[in-house]
Amino acid sequence: MRPLRDLSIRVKLTGSLVAVVSIVLLLSTVAGLIEQHRSAKVAMVAQFTVLAVTLGEASSSTILFDDRQTCAEVLASARLEPKVVFVQIFDGEGNRFASYKADQSVSDELPLNHEQDQVLFKGEFLHVSQPIELQEIPVGRIYLRASIKDLYKNTRHKIFLATLSLLICLFIAILLGSLLQREIARPILELAAATKKVSGEGDFSARVHSNAGDEIGVLCNGFNTMLDQIQQRDRELEKHRTHLEELVRERTSRLEAQTQELTDSNAQLERSNQELDDFAYIVSHDLKEPLRGISRYSSFIAEDYAGKLDEAGHEKLETLQRLCLRQENLIDSLLHYSRVGRAELAIAPTDLNDVIEQVLDMMHITLEEQGIEVRVPRQLPTVACDSVRIVEVFRNLITNAVKYNDKAEKWIEIGFQQHGECGGNDLTPTGFVFYVRDNGIGIREKHQESVFRIFKRLHARDKYGGGTGAGLTFVKKIVERHGGKIWLESTYGEGTTFYFTLEKGIVA
């Protein structure tokens, strides 16, 4: 059925028309032929019954007067009807009396009981058996056999003619059908072509021309209207799109300008940073020189003039020396800071477990003294970083954790979180977030921003083991040099966690 469904509507229309016409014609022709054949048979029956009766009556006198020869002469008049092939007369006693044969070869066998009135089509013949009666006297019977070849020949001829006319009608039907279907199918085909054009090429300017007022006309008009609307909408969309593009272009250019500005200011910033670093280096380097002189000379005074100075002099000299040391520390820190900002990083794959081991090794005396438990919940990954700097990061963080802890049972936890492991803070999507957690004193929220500032100390100078207050500044600088970020979470009095990332170059 599939191929039939896929046929063109033109073929379908013509085909259905031709099919209907041919079926109707065929049925009516067949019915007509059957009826004609039947009525021809009825007519033939009537004709030959009458002929038999007439012949019977005509030959009645010959039977009564027992005149076979005359009877045969009477029967011979049947030759005028060429269809009659055999006539047999029976006398009153049922004996064969006289007969007529159209041809010597005709059989005189009777296919029916000649003593009964009968009309019968059998074989190629019509058989008629009729009584002969004159007034009340039964005279005899007549049997007549007529050929129905002509009947069948006629019927065959009629069938031939009917077939011929059927073919002619079919031809006319095909002709008319193709003419009619053109009227119906043309708009549909146009519609199909237009649809193909619209859906295939996206050409919405296609239109279908139909001035018919029927359903197809409505369909075509609807299609056209639809396309109009689509085109209208398209135009509007196009307008909006153009507008949008302009908007985007404008925004983009503005953004580009801003980016340029930012880049410029960034470069400027970097330059000034660099200058600052250079400045810090130069200043600290140059500052150290006189400081070293002051320190040396104060030592000289303390050694050479020890006896000449009184208690108060000694005290002041000590203070001077302490301040010198402190100044030196500060300058060292500044120098270090500027170095961190200046020196190139030696990035290489580094196993952080080694780093931690190294740090703990360096600090093991302090850790043992303080009785601090260091926890590393799982093996740390290998990342690309400058191992020396990262040692400094961990050392500073662990030192702070050790330093600012007043608990009886102190612990430090070093670990990392990977993408998907933590609840989605500032987590970089692909990288690790390392942390150093302690149960120390914690940092008040208002101070959480300023802890990274250089030389910023939250406590009295000598409290919690002192220090320059530059450690976290170094850490931040190193992390940022790696492209990472550092932040902290803390609850005052319960502990602090420092998080940092080393975004660049994650190896494992």
Partner 1 sequence: MRRSLSLFCALLIGNALIGDHVLRAQQPQAVSEYDIKAGWFAFFGLYIQWPEQPFPGADKDFVIGVLGNNPFGPYVRPSGNGFAIHASKFPKSLKVIQGKRIKVIEYATVDAFRRNYRPCHILFISRSSAPGVPAETVQDRVSAALAKTKNQSVVLVGEASSKAESEAFAKSGVIICYWNDLQDQRLKMVINDTLARNEGLKIKSPLLRLGVVTPL
The binding site for partner 1 (CB under 8 A) comprises 58, 60-62, 64-67, 69-70, 92-95, 115, 134-138
- In the complex, least distance from residue 93 CB atom to partner 1, rounded to whole angstroms: 6
- In sequence order, the 6+-apart residues with CB closer than 8 A to the CB of 166 are 22, 25, 26, 29
Alpha helix segments (H runs only) across 145-214: 149-196
C-alpha R_g of the chain = 64
CA–CA dist 300, 298 (Å, integer): 5
Identify the CA nearest to 131 among candidates 60, 43, 48: 60
Q: Decide whether 65 or 430 has the Cβ nearer to partner 1.
A: 65
What is the SS3 assignment for 380?
A: coil
Instruction: Give me 303's structure tokens.
Output: 């050694």
Token representation of residue 32: 């007509």
- Tell me how far the alpha carbon of residue 76 is from its chain's centroid: 96
- Min. distance of Cβ 99 from partner 1 in angstroms? 16
CB of 64 to partner 1, least distance (A): 5
Closest CA to 208 of 178, 183, 186, 234: 186
Cβ distance to partner 1 smaller for residue 56 or 469? 56
**DSSP per position, 30-42:** HHHHHHHHHHHHH
Sheet with 486-491, strands from edge to edge, namely 372-375, 410-417, 433-438, 495-501, 486-491
Nearest to 204 by CA among 213, 195, 216: 195
Task: Return d(Cα 122, Cα 155) in angstroms, integer.
Answer: 17
The least CB distance from residue 58 to partner 1, in Å, is 7
Q: How far is the CB of 114 from partner 1 (least distance, A)?
A: 11
Tokens standing for residue 38: 């039947």
CB of 89 to partner 1, least distance (A): 14
Residue in the block written with tokens 């302009």? 246
For strand 410-417 and strand 372-375, is the pairing parallel, antiparallel, or unpaired?
parallel
Q: Minimum Å distance from CB 71 to partner 1?
A: 9
Q: How far is the CB of 125 from partner 1 (least distance, A)?
A: 24
Q: From the CB of 142, what's the least distance to partner 1, in Å?
A: 15
Which residue's structure tokens are 């509507």?
Answer: 9
Amino acid at 242: T
DSSP 379: P
Question: At a CB cut-off of 8 Å and minimum separation 6, what does 480 contact?
Answer: 486
CB of 94 to partner 1, least distance (A): 5
Question: CB neighbours of 340 closer than 8 A, spacing ≥ 6?
Answer: 389, 474, 477, 478, 481
Q: Which is nearer to partner 1, 114 or 336 (CB)?
A: 114
Encode 267-282: b = buried (16+ Cβ within 10 Å), e = exposed.
Answer: eeeeeeeeeebeebbe
Q: Which CB, 93 or 215, lies closer to partner 1?
A: 93
- Between CA 163 and CA 172 the distance in angstroms is 14
Kindly tell me which of 141 and 410 has the beta carbon lying closer to partner 1.
141
Beta carbon of residue 76, minimum distance to partner 1 (angstroms, whole number): 13
What contacts 158, CB < 8 A, 6 or more positions away? 33, 36, 37
Smallest distance, partner 1 to C-beta of residue 143, A: 16
State in angstroms the smallest separation of the CB of 60 from partner 1: 7
Contact 272, 264 (CB under 8 A): no
Q: Quick count: other Cβ atoms within 10 Å of Cβ 431?
A: 21
Residue (14 or 130) nearer to partner 1, CB? 130
Measured at the alpha carbon of residue 143, what is the angle toward residues 140 and 146, in degrees to the nearest 5?
155
